[in-house]
Chain A
Amino acid sequence: GQQLNQSPQSMFIQEGEDVSMNCTSSSIFNTWLWYKQDPGEGPVLLIALYKAGELTSNGRLTAQFGITRKDSFLNISASIPSDVGIYFCAGRTGNQFYFGTGTSLTVIP
């Protein structure tokens, strides 16, 4: 199945730094979702975006739905140790959801 291009693949940052990751696709989506997955657990929904250009925040997280509808980015401000995990983007078209390959985030205290 289709997997979206997500970058970077991994990040190692100092606690307190800001983080940015993005997701691109060759297809247009009508919804973009961002998830966080901890080891041994299922993905947890962080943010949902429904309109091109939409910018949505959830605490220290901010995500944007790209104007072309083929991309999205996620920013995390002032990272903390519990931000560690794998972040996945997902794009929806119709009833289908396609996932990115994930960005592994490590926060160094």
Chain B
Amino acid sequence: GAGVSQTPSNKVTEKGKYVELRCDPISGHTALYWYRQSLGQGPEFLIYFQGTGAADDSGLPNDRFFAVRPEGSVSTLKIQRTERGDSAVYLCASRPANTGELFFGEGSRLTVL
């Protein structure tokens, strides 16, 4: 497809488990962002990649959260030892070089029981 693709769309897991969320950005977009959205809130920044490197990871809440983008395209957000407070929609967005427009995927809804 032409848009940002995120999988899974829904993930239910138990407290303490490990979770991976995948993002496939729009082809050719060099910048990739992860956001977290809680109910009734706007997206909150987690991490930003320019190419393969994490250019800014200041939004990651703690060291249980980690993200990679090994080939500069697909990215995986990894959450270790999940907690109930991690329940949210995790949004991925990509941006073409030299533009200010951010394009979002449909999100991955994570529920930690």
Contact = CB atoms under 8 A, between A and B. Distances in A.
Interface string B92-113: 0000000011111111010000
A97 B45 CA distance: 8
Contact of B43 (A6, A30, A40, A99): A99
Interface in A73-109: 88, 90, 92, 95-102
B106 A42 contact: yes
B13 interface: no
Given A42-B91, A97-B45, A30 B101 contact: no
A42 B107 contact: yes
Given A95-B50, A95-B56, A96-B56, A44 B104 contact: yes
Nearest to A43: B104
Contacts of B55: 95
Interface residues of B, number: 26
Nearest to B42: A99
A41 B106 CA distance: 5
B45 A48 contact: no
Contact of A95 (B31, B44, B59, B107): B31
Contact of B101 (A45, A96, A102): A45
B105 A97 contact: no
Contacts of A88: 42-43
A33 B104 contact: no
A9 to B, nearest CB: 9
Interface in A28-55: 30-31, 33, 35, 40-45, 48, 50
Interface of B: 4, 6, 31, 33, 35, 40-45, 48, 50, 55-56, 59, 91, 100-107, 109
